[in-house]
Structure 1
């Protein structure tokens, strides 16, 4: 059963969460019960005709847990960069194999192909890197397992951080705080219904097939291609944001303050502002664990003198990896480079604007213009991301 896809899932969710809600209202967290419920919902997700995914996730978890605790044990006495890099490579290897699987004849034999592997892998890499940094010195096996398999977010995020999650998991919130969390959680779930089952349905099921058909019939660049760009962008946002709201809302009901994933991204004033609003947990994960570390490495080794050049190399690397993570197709890679160059141009403009602050007007009109321009830059990137241009021009 796909998470958050049908009324039956939400009915099971309500029944399963009720004892947790009662316990938290009285300041108690029933960890054993939460473990049982997590197991039940994981069976719902990976059981039945998806039993192979269930087997895959068990094998994957065994490998990753051995890796995490082996590296933790090693790090207590040693700190070799080579061992650290090896641990990170081993952590992401299953995900890399899954991404490469479609290109080989043995794709039906994928060992680690299961729903949510990317998000669990990001969590594993985060733990390994923070062990290396010394910010994580001790790990609780049950806590790590619960963190990796936290069922509300397993399929589509958001991506939480281990230390933040454990603080919530280890201590039940006070009643007053939990009532606020419960209220927000219920609100987010109902907002998710609006996004996913009304607006995403309108754009994705009702409108998108029609505009795509008309765009293909028209051929080339046409008003229908433009319409497809807008409709796809809206469908992508409301569908993904809806799922994220369900995950965050369910987490809040369980007394876990999972971070939000979206913050009104279509009113961003520039592309950097957009990435601080869109899929925020992924954006911040890539920023903290790839971009910042790469820039620090270049600074430490004095590979590049110019800070601007260093930042630009970081952007290109970051978004290339992000594009490849989505899939090994030309349009995902172009999508990544498109955003890298957009941010490089944005950075250059912000530097120029700061230098010529008095000469460049700043008012309501320029603010609206910036929002509209950013919106169209983003929508065009989603058109690339959709793969529709590949279908329209190359097939």
Structure 2
């Protein structure tokens, strides 16, 4: 399998095929047919070394097309909005992802189901079902939906775009000056991605993460190695993923699509809530909008709990536990989700107490203290997330 943005050779081929699109964009034109050709070409390249995953990918696309079409017809043509049908549509849409994530429990029988990018495509498809149900998507075109799903710059690992925002970019005519600004921004992001992923992340991994991991497994300077690994892995995780995301957004800009950014200086967050507004933002906002907020609304409507804080804390717990399980059914991912939920609930309780007694003032000094404390708590969370504790022979 060819990993997107994984080699210099990939970028060489990519820029070669992007050249006509860039030239057309600078002249205020789009090339939809050529775009479709380039998309299919890079998807084929992506799965060329693993035809089983390629077949699973094609089957998945048709599966989502059927579900979204059936639900749209039910919701708009029949003019019905039964909650049970909506729930069934959601479950059917996420079924392939659920089966894939259960792989560790099913002894390797799922290579016929999973493929690179299945999570992010599922998020896109589920968003369609939800927004059709909410009446936000009033018209549906299968070709446009496939174009949204198969947008190849973000296919493998996001960022997670929304259909309505994406469609607005595709439908509006290209303005030469605005496209030039997009192109310049795209080029900048690609160079930033090279700095992050191929230089900083590589050096951190080679000279810190891997040596410290070796020390931990072999119990060499265990305490200092653990601390060093915690910080170095956190840096590696950010620069590697932020570098990839910069590539994806940069290439999107070159295609005239303003895919949203995924990171916004997360390590200067002043608290855990601020961190989740900066880290993997499209995923964080997706869970906020489609899991947390809807669960809060549902629990409030059912009136099972009198306290709005109890409702919010239950929703936080469910939200982050699902997010942890989404990463995989390993104990350290589940513990990571629990850890994040406890942190955000703990901070909310702290904020409420401080609002009442005002013992912790908000000023420049406490801002710096908040950044320092948050950074360390976040790095400890990434230590759990890394899975290193599962590899150390205690």
TM-score band w.r.t. shorter chain: over 0.9
The count of residues paired between Structure 1 and Structure 2 equals 391
TM-score by length of 2: 0.97
| 1:273 corresponds to | 274
| 2:372 corresponds to | 372
Are the aligned partners of 1:220 and 1:393 in contact in 2 as well (CA < 8 Å)?
no
1:207 and 1:352, CA in 2 relative to 1: closer, same or farther beyond 3 A?
A: same
List per-residue Cα deviations over 1:132-188 (Å, max 9, x = no partner). 000011112211101101100011100000000000011233111111111110000
Are the aligned partners of 1:172 and 1:255 in contact in 2 as well (CA < 8 Å)?
no
Are the aligned partners of 1:220 and 1:392 in contact in 2 as well (CA < 8 Å)?
no
Is the aligned partner of 1:27 residue 2:28? Answer: yes
Are the aligned partners of 1:29 and 1:171 in contact in 2 as well (CA < 8 Å)?
no
Q: CA deviation at 1:20?
A: 0.9
| 1:146 corresponds to | 147
| 2:45 corresponds to | 44
Are the aligned partners of 2:53 and 2:111 in contact in 1 as well (CA < 8 Å)?
no
Is the aligned partner of 1:54 residue 2:54? Answer: yes
Matches within 5 A, 1:82-93: 82-93=84-95
Is the aligned partner of 1:283 residue 2:284? Answer: yes
Which has the larger displacement, 348-357 or 49-58? Answer: 348-357
1:313 and 1:220, CA in 2 relative to 1: closer, same or farther beyond 3 A?
A: farther
Cα separation, 2, equivalents of 1:117 and 1:361: 45
Cα separation, 2, equivalents of 1:166 and 1:338: 37
Cα separation, 2, equivalents of 1:328 and 1:364: 41
Is the aligned partner of 1:389 residue 2:392? Answer: no
1:55 and 1:253, CA in 2 relative to 1: closer, same or farther beyond 3 A?
A: same
Matches within 5 A, 1:57-136: 57-76=57-76, 77-105=79-107, 107-136=108-137
Q: CA deviation at 1:109?
A: 4.6
Are the aligned partners of 1:295 and 1:314 in contact in 2 as well (CA < 8 Å)?
yes
Cα separation, 2, equivalents of 1:209 and 1:392: 14
Matches within 5 A, 1:109-258: 109-218=110-219, 222-258=223-259
Give the CA RMSD over aligned residues: 1.3
Cα separation, 1, equivalents of 2:59 and 2:284: 28
Q: CA deviation at 1:355?
A: 2.3
List per-residue Cα deviations over 1:73-110 (Å, max 9, x = no partner). 000121110000000000000000001123223x2453
